[in-house]
Amino acid sequence: MNRWPYLSKKASGALLSAVMLNRRNLLAGAALGLGLGVPLTIAFVRKDARLTGGFDLSGILPMDAVTGVTWTACGALAALTAKWLSGPLFDVIDRGGNTRTIHAIDGYPDIKTFAALAGVDPRTGIGGLLCSKVYDQSGRGCDFTQATPANQPGVWLIEGKIYFGFGGVLSQKALSLPPQFFNVSERVPVNNRSSSVYAIIKPYCSNAGWVTDRGSPAIYAGASMFSHGPANGIGVVDFSKFSGPSIAAPVTVQRSIYSHILGADASQVSLNGAVGTAGPLAAATAMGGRIGFQPGLPFSTAFSGRMQGIMMSSTPLSPAQDAAVKGALYKYGDIRSALPSAIGKVNILIDGASFDQGQGGDPAGKYGTQNGGGYGWPEMLMDQLDGLDIQWNNIAASGNRIANCTSTYGSDGHLCFNSSAAKNILVGPNSAVGNTINDGKTGAQAYADFLSWLAVVRADKWDRIITYTFSGPAGDPEQDYTDLMIANAEANRVTIVVMPSIAPNPFDGHPGISGYQMMASAMRSILSPLLA
């Protein structure tokens, strides 16, 4: 196993600021719109590449990739077919309460108009609006709709890239959020023996309920991404018999292509190329349904994340058709890494508490200084390094103490270790330290909990283990913890990053955008040598 020395305050030099404050006394005043440079993933299609919204339409568009397929409802933030290059894409509610339609321009979303409505810079800004409709590009008029403001998902522009946002897990308040979902027209059939669905998605956390062994026996449980059937969302598609441990939770958290194909002879579900298969499912048909986030269930069975588009069909696609559609979607979504378990990747797992989840909040704006979706340092790193050969995982959970991290690693974290990866990097337990101390433990007791966590994670041969600390006045429990971590870093074979001061979100004390940018910058400086 390779070793890294810890980064002391002196050794960090220009890398990190030496200013260290207790997390409970952070300076206020987050400034929106600060950036860390142009993201590495850009589409070289239009003259102003930053206004593509994160799409690449230079290839064949996904709906046009195959023939003989009946598309029943297809919606996205860019054109899915050459027939929709100037069509309406989605409706948003502007700040005056008016409904505004965003159209495609040469197939791409009109980012300038959306940014103006959201009051942000189209290239570097971070902001969003609630969405009431996504237009059906199949020509059947089966739009995805949500008339109730409290239930409307958000559309978020994040430094030039645009997404639908569903729910979140940054704050414990996330579970009290109202459902955020689109209604699928009742004219859209979902048949267990004749159905295909494709979507570009990005889960917010790795222990999301995509497959059978994470709490619910069905992908279509009420809080999953795609739910059909009765009003309560319990779906007709039961994947409890699917095989394929490569898609077992926890799932990777980078942008992915999700799909399922249900036929009379066989069925399959896949996430970014990892496939699970089954025989024909029990015959059942639903009309319409929901797409989005429904809270009130444990995080392990609740989906929350970003989405850029969805395509629904009443045709069970053949293997050749499936490959053609997925190939077009990877190009369309500018997704470079199709197989998250491929040999040669750098595999990164982030563990900890809400500071490290990076997502959460309310698209209506309670977490406006965090992007409403809680655009945290892990999300910033993933976006900045998008397209590199990295598999990202995140099992941080709101309110975690180090003891929680220890047990969570035992159930979920070890599944994120990739023995075939070129390098495995674990970043944690980080912000769980503050929660542990807030429970009344001393710095020495928190450090003892860290050693217990370390013993559990050492069962997997991580190449690097990185953790960050915050410091405070002498005698403060967090400073005592930091001192113990630095003094024992070499013996523990752990890299310690002493974070600079950060700016909190005044709504709940979590960092604002500028604070998370500082954390992302510090972490990127540590990770960059390993990603060359």
Q: Which residue has the higher pLDDT, 408 or 466?
A: 466
Reported confidence tier of residue 125, pLDDT bands at 50, 70, 90: confident
pLDDT in tens, 475-501: 899 999 999 999 999 999 999 999 887
Q: What is the mean pLDDT of residues 329-357?
A: 79
Reported confidence tier of residue 173, pLDDT bands at 50, 70, 90: very low
CB neighbours of residue 513 within 10 Å: 23
Task: Please state, in angstroms and rounded to a whole number, the distance separating the CA atoms of residues 28 and 506.
Answer: 7
| 37 within a domain of the structure (yes/no) | no
pLDDT at 75: 97
33-42, 175-184, 258-267, 287-296: which has the highest mean pLDDT?
Answer: 258-267
Domain count, the chain: 2
pLDDT at 159: 86
Mean pLDDT, all residues of the chain: 76
pLDDT at 473: 87
Residues 6+ apart with CB under 8 A from 475: none
Q: Residues 467, 396: contact at Cβ < 8 Å? A: no
Task: Please state, in angstroms and rounded to a whole number, the distance separating the CA atoms of residues 532 and 528.
Answer: 7
| 504 within a domain of the structure (yes/no) | yes
| 36 within a domain of the structure (yes/no) | no
Q: Which residue has the higher pLDDT, 18 or 403?
A: 403
Co-location of 121 and 26 in the same domain: no
Select from 456, 408, 450 the least CA-distant residue to 430: 450
Q: Residues 47, 140: contact at Cβ < 8 Å? A: no
C-alpha dist (Å) from residue 24 to 17, 477, 503: 18, 12, 11
Boundary of a domain, candidates 307, 332, 357: 332
Q: What is the mean pLDDT of residues 31-50?
A: 34
| Packing angle of the helix pair 513-531, 377-384 (nearest 10 deg) | 50
pLDDT at 313: 94
pLDDT at 234 over 70: no
Co-location of 311 and 371 in the same domain: no
Co-location of 470 and 429 in the same domain: yes
Co-location of 140 and 222 in the same domain: yes
Co-location of 291 and 310 in the same domain: yes
Task: Please state, in angstroms and rounded to a whole number, the distance separating the CA atoms of residues 455 and 449.
Answer: 10
| 60 within a domain of the structure (yes/no) | no
Q: Which residue has the higher pLDDT, 422 or 338?
A: 422
pLDDT at 212 over 80: no
Counting residues of the chain whose pLDDT is more than 70, the rounded percentage is 70
| 44 within a domain of the structure (yes/no) | no
Residue 433, token pair as written in the block: 């330290």
pLDDT at 337: 58
| 510 within a domain of the structure (yes/no) | yes
pLDDT at 183: 85
Task: Please state, in angstroms and rounded to a whole number, the distance separating the CA atoms of residues 176 and 51.
Answer: 35
Residue 390: alpha-carbon gap to chain centroid: 14
Reported confidence tier of residue 10, pLDDT bands at 50, 70, 90: very low
| 454 within a domain of the structure (yes/no) | yes
Q: What is the mean pLDDT of residues 490-513?
A: 82
H helix or E strand, kind and range, residue 513: helix 513-531
Residues 6+ apart with CB under 8 A from 434: 23, 353, 355, 470, 478
pLDDT at 248: 46
Co-location of 110 and 239 in the same domain: yes
Co-location of 355 and 412 in the same domain: yes
Q: What is the CATH number of the domain that holds 482?
A: 3.40.50.1110
Co-location of 357 and 327 in the same domain: no
* Prediction pTM value: 0.80
pLDDT at 455: 97
Boundary of a domain, candidates 332, 358, 376: 332
Q: What is the CATH number of the domain that holds 179?
A: 2.60.120
Task: Please state, in angstroms and rounded to a whole number, the distance separating the CA atoms of residues 212 and 224.
Answer: 12
Co-location of 230 and 293 in the same domain: yes
pLDDT in tens, 439-454: 999 999 999 999 999 9
Burial class from Cβ neighbours inside 10 Å (0-12, 13-18, 19+) for residue 289 reads buried
Co-location of 429 and 390 in the same domain: yes
Co-location of 380 and 325 in the same domain: no
Co-location of 259 and 171 in the same domain: yes
pLDDT at 357: 77
Boundary of a domain, candidates 332, 358, 393: 332
| 98 within a domain of the structure (yes/no) | yes
Q: Which domain holds residue 25?
A: 9-30+343-531
pLDDT at 469: 92
